[in-house]
Amino acid sequence: MKQHIAHVTLLVNDYDEAIEFYTQKLHFTLLEDTSLTDTKRWVRVAPPGSTATYLLLAKAANHEEQQHVGNQTGGRVFLFLYTDNLARDYKNLVEKGVTIVRPPVVEAYGTVAVFADLYGNLWDLLEPKG
């Protein structure tokens, strides 16, 4: 048996502002932006070098979904972005004005910083040891 997670849905308020944040501030690649209806698009983005799991940016379509934009995990870190150079990527976040929640610290598993995306979802930026 072979399986993998292909997409993780991230609720957003607006497709275009989310695309701009992820591509311009985090340097993600826009993989697809396909209109499905007048109000719904299939938008996939991925970090540089990613080959398996992508973010599916989904515009909140109703009141229930809108309540969860920016807080899909009840305030916990939601996504973990691994990097081969935390110093480089942390510097980029600061230069691009991304909200830093916790500056880099060295942990047993690697060096990690916490940042918030444009809606407030928390991310770990992690350079693993070894």
Q: Where are the domains of the chain?
A: 1-69, 73-130
- What CATH number matches the domain at 73-130, 3.10.180.10, 3.30.110.40, 3.40.50.1000, 3.40.50.1860? 3.10.180.10
The secondary structure element, H or E, covering residue 9 is strand 7-12
Q: In the CATH scheme, what architecture does the domain 1-69 have?
A: Roll (3.10)
Distance set, CA 49 to CA 29, 31, 75, 85 (Å) = 9, 12, 28, 13
Domain pair 1-69 / 73-130, same fold: yes
Q: What is the pLDDT of residues 20-33, one digit of tens each?
A: 999 999 999 999 99
Whose CA is closest to 90, among 118, 121, 111?
A: 111
pTM of structure: 0.93
Q: What is the pLDDT of residues 58-105, one digit of tens each?
A: 999 999 999 999 999 999 999 999 999 999 999 999 999 999 999 999
What is the rounded distance in angstroms from the CA atom of residue 129 to the CA atom of residue 72? 28
Helix extents (H) in the chain: 15-20, 63-66, 86-95
